[in-house]
């Protein structure tokens, strides 16, 4: 119950935030709340999945914080909707792609799902995607549209192609 409450709190903080530090805080709360759910079975595969999830999410959160600090350094604004520096926008696109498991940062996601239970995999595949997608939506006017379109097409194509090889429900 406490982990589900923490997930709801982290998602709510990120989705309703206008300041980068609060959005980052919500993303970190989500990451820390889902780790015990992934490693609940104490199976070595689940612990490995939790470790991979933590490392990827920590790296992506670091990139989110770095892009927001770089943008604030150049513009003086910590507002999420004021992401105007091109380098910051590119770093943020990479960070959100990592958090969502989009191409070319997708290799961690199938391995984490394979080490998780079915319900945790469902949670990772749905509810844990809302906060990064919200950040993507709030900064979409300053992100490179051709890069986003390329990532979306490659993710859909590669996901469908790799899905043909799957023999497990997860």
C-alpha closest to that of 48 among 98, 108, 97, 101:
108
167 — pLDDT class (breaks 50, 70, 90): confident
164 — pLDDT class (breaks 50, 70, 90): confident
14 — pLDDT class (breaks 50, 70, 90): very high
pLDDT of residue 32: 95
pLDDT of residue 170: 61
The dihedrals phi and psi of 69, each to the nearest 5 degrees, come to -70, -40
169 — pLDDT class (breaks 50, 70, 90): low
pTM of the model: 0.91
CB 70 within 8 A of CB 91: yes
Calpha distance 48→23 (Å, rounded):
27
**In this predicted model, what pLDDT tens digit does every residue of 23-75 receive, in sequence order?**
999 999 999 999 999 999 889 999 999 999 999 999 999 999 999 999 999 99
**In this predicted model, what pLDDT tens digit does every residue of 102-139 receive, in sequence order?**
999 999 999 999 999 999 999 999 999 999 999 999 99
Mean pLDDT, the chain, as a whole number?
93
User: Could you give the angle at which helices 130-138 and 86-100 cross, rounded to 10 degrees?
Assistant: 160
Beta strands of the chain (E only): which ranges?
none
CB 97 within 8 A of CB 148: no
CB 46 within 8 A of CB 37: no
């Amino acid at each position: 119950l406490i982990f589900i409450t923490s997930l709801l709190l982290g998602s709510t903080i990120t989705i309703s935030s206008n300041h980068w530090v609060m959005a980052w805080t919500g993303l970190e709360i989500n990451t820390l709340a889902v780790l015990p759910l992934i490693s609940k079975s104490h199976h070595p595969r689940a612990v490995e999945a939790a470790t991979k999830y933590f490392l990827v999410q920590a790296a992506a959160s670091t990139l989110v914080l770095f892009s927001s600090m770089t943008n604030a350094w150049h513009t003086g604004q910590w507002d999420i909707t004021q992401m105007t520096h091109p380098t910051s926008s590119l770093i943020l696109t990479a960070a959100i792609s990592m958090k969502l498991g989009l191409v070319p940062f997708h290799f961690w996601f199938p391995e984490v799902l394979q080490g998780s239970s079915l319900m945790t995999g469902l949670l990772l595949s749905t509810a844990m995607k809302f906060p990064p997608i919200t950040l993507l939506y709030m900064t979409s006017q300053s992100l490179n549209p051709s890069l986003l379109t390329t990532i979306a097409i490659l993710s859909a194509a590669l996901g469908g192609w790799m899905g043909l090889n799957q023999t497990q429900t997860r």
